[in-house]
Structure 1
């Protein structure tokens, strides 16, 4: 395939005429005459003076910083001068408070410079994490080919990672792997499309589509707009008393036509960027993770997709799903954004594979990270809240629940089987165990109920609107009162709640 050059990328992603170079002439130390001649030939052949160019430009009018590899210059390899230019560019982006797009196309370390150049991957990664610690977006666009130390350091450190179609991406290139191990990498394994399907990267997009993605990300991350305050208060008035029996409510949440997370995502699609997996080779359709805006307020959304789980589909809420959700928690922390968690599951996966993959530990880690993350958090029990899989995504500064939603330690039929050795007593058990949204509010587990008129499945559009308005109101209220936000508030709240239950 034809390699996309740095200038091709500038032409297709930036607003015309907006690119401003930050580069100064590279300085080399004591190098051999042969190496100096090699550098001269590389400049003449590629038309650039080093293997990266840095600068800034605008994308749809918004300033964005860039570090772009030029594969035509010694295969995009990284030497000391290259590393210094990359680090200087990252620091300048950080100091300027700019989103940063890095686009490597590199075979890795420059072999003429050896181990000292190889170790500079640490220095580049340090600069990247300094940028991320400032809660500034770090976007990666992997071009063909990207391998070696670049792929194994700053090329895999993005908040969002995209790749160009057909790009060869991997720890080491296929020729090196085969010569080193004697075994070839199967065809297609190191291609962008396979890595996207495996959850290693977030998507495969052309340079033109990359512009659209950058525009959307920058737009979502702009400061909160006044639209967040244009809410219909009547639409989010909590019902005072139950209008149907607990078991009827549970049955309602199991309706196949009940609106779920997909309805929310569909409504937010104009301002939504979905991640595709954990970033380390795990995917699960049971969970959706996205950067979005809800009524003008930027946030990270993590949620359980009821329509991807049984009985609607075959994907269960397993360890990979919760690991994916934790990536969303990390993204919210990394960008300093509120986190919205949506709960709607018939339960976590029960299988030998789930046990061997650490199902219980995945629940524990997700639960702990939601308690510990130091950003405003809102959780919504949208329907079914069954067992540890639901509990894992519950902790928040503000907890909302749909009127017919519920939360229980086990599936209702399972609870009945334990006590009565049959499933016939499930309705009675659920009434006794105080699982309903109203009982949860009375116990202090839930703060606000979202009404259903008479049931969410009968009015999916109206219900979806009320959910989004309720979440937006909760986010707005948390933004206006810092004393009700963050890990210390959550620590005090859940400790106090435990004392009250005693």
Structure 2
């Protein structure tokens, strides 16, 4: 059971000092204009200002994090429990809009009980305009990062506290929609312990990380280094461009791909990427071990990565519907942040269970295909190992496809195909050859453009193989970076429309 440790939580000024480079903070705050308060509320405001030394429950401004200019919005919980009234809401909106105008990433550090009760419904409605400002900031392609502090509840958690591209939280922080005091008053019993703790939200896939304030600059710097990378040097063409398909048969490649020691997306990120920031879950209360989501850099090329994870002895990782909802979160991040997307395919098949059916697995595969084929971002897919069924197809559509020499792609595992056609699994080797599942066939049919060699098996040289694959990904990302999405989308659609060569090419539009 999670229990809250007795810790001292930083106030707004202390958090700014802990996160920003020394001496870099510059306030954006103008004097507040209070609503017309009654005498009692006027006294509460005066007492809060005397106690805290600040004029409202939020401070806004800018500073440097590892030399990078960042806009900041930080709650002061000691000021009427960090509650948001009209003046505080307008200060937040002004800061978000200024960050958008000036093209700055924005870090928000809420700690609040929610809407200020003394100002009633009109203050409650302010959450709408704050959310609208955050939406405009995100639509401008600018990062919005959130650090949830103890405690964050109510309307703040249900608006600008839950809209981050990336969301971290303070260890042990109480985070949730309903404040425990309100729950107990209404229900006559305490709220179950541990449910609203930061660590439990991480376990449920609601937030990306739990980090103490002192480590927050590292997280922000890594995120912005990937998201806000500048111009890239020209990528040197890798040796893998000359690699040919393996002469191994399809069944031999399938057997090689099933080696439990074969590197998967986790080893690729560890050994093939220059920098990685793992993300966690859908952000909507789901977390599936069948998928890895991360921001990463391959060489100088930044991207969002989504990929199947291989089973571990203690944990099965068949891809369920939650995996694809997490993948679609990655697709949205790529579009909003202006990053290319890399998908890594390595699955023996999607989950086969009543839970997967009731969770809408087929619909999630369809929506993933729908989103990927029209994604407004450059895309690279990587056939890393096994590629069975809809679980593989869901991450496949891309502008360019890289394949390891012994990867494969099939409507079903060959044993399943054999059972359908021959009513026996014994014809699996012959079925794999007949179906053209291996890289040689996929390359000949125009699906795979780039092959990464295995010498002779990726499981025997995992680090070297991952480095080669990382260089191939960097090259493909660099090549796509020179083309605009208006050029890439028609080419992507034509690639899949023309696979198999049975349809006539699309005639160019006249005029």
Q: Provide TM-score, normalisation by structure 2.
A: 0.94
Question: Is contact 2:387–2:410 with CA below 8 Å preserved after alignment?
Answer: yes
- Is structure 2 residue 291 aligned with structure 1 residue 287? yes
Question: Is contact 2:272–2:471 with CA below 8 Å preserved after alignment?
Answer: no
Distance 1:450 1:161 in 2: 35
Distance 2:274 2:50 in 1: 45
Superposition map of 1:402-417 within 5 A = 402-417=404-419
Pick aligned residue for 2:428 from 426, 429, 433: 426
Pick aligned residue for 1:455 from 441, 454, 457: 457
More deviation in 487-496 or 252-261?
Answer: 487-496
Distance 1:268 1:176 in 2: 50
Q: What do the CA deviations read for 1:213-248 (whole angstroms, capped 9, x no partner)? A: 01111212233454562x353244221x53211110
How far residue 268 of structure 1 moved from its aligned partner, in angstroms, is 5.5
Q: What do the CA deviations read for 1:54-92 (whole angstroms, capped 9, x no partner)? A: 000001100000000000000000000000000000011
Superposition map of 1:34-73 within 5 A = 34-73=40-79
How far residue 111 of structure 1 moved from its aligned partner, in angstroms, is 0.4
Q: What is aligned with 1:17?
A: 23
Pick aligned residue for 1:297 from 294, 298, 301: 301
How far residue 347 of structure 1 moved from its aligned partner, in angstroms, is 0.5
Distance 2:371 2:288 in 1: 19
Question: Is contact 2:272–2:469 with CA below 8 Å preserved after alignment?
Answer: no
Q: What is aligned with 1:442?
A: 444
Question: Is contact 1:237–1:450 with CA below 8 Å preserved after alignment?
Answer: no
SS of the equivalent of 1:292 reads strand
Q: What is aligned with 2:3?
A: none
- Is structure 2 residue 202 aligned with structure 1 residue 206? no
Pick aligned residue for 2:239 from 234, 241, 256: 234
Instruction: Report the number of matched residues.
Output: 498
Q: What do the CA deviations read for 1:16-50 (whole angstroms, capped 9, x no partner)? A: 00000000110123222222221111100111100
Question: Is contact 1:145–1:167 with CA below 8 Å preserved after alignment?
Answer: yes
- Is structure 2 residue 98 aligned with structure 1 residue 95? no
Distance 1:484 1:496 in 2: 19
- Is structure 2 residue 40 aligned with structure 1 residue 4? no
Q: What do the CA deviations read for 1:293-313 (whole angstroms, capped 9, x no partner)? A: 1111111011111245xx773
How far residue 410 of structure 1 moved from its aligned partner, in angstroms, is 0.5
Superposition map of 1:31-430 within 5 A = 31-224=37-230, 226=232, 229=235, 231=236, 233-239=238-244, 241-267=245-271, 271-308=275-312, 313-430=315-432
Q: What is aligned with 1:480?
A: 482
Distance 1:301 1:35, change over 3 A: same
Distance 1:205 1:246, change over 3 A: same
Distance 1:312 1:422 in 2: 31
SS of the equivalent of 1:194 reads helix
Distance 1:482 1:8 in 2: 44
Question: Is contact 1:141–1:164 with CA below 8 Å preserved after alignment?
Answer: yes
How far residue 184 of structure 1 moved from its aligned partner, in angstroms, is 3.4
Distance 1:458 1:481 in 2: 37
Distance 1:166 1:114 in 2: 30
SS of the equivalent of 2:62 reads strand
Distance 1:242 1:336 in 2: 36
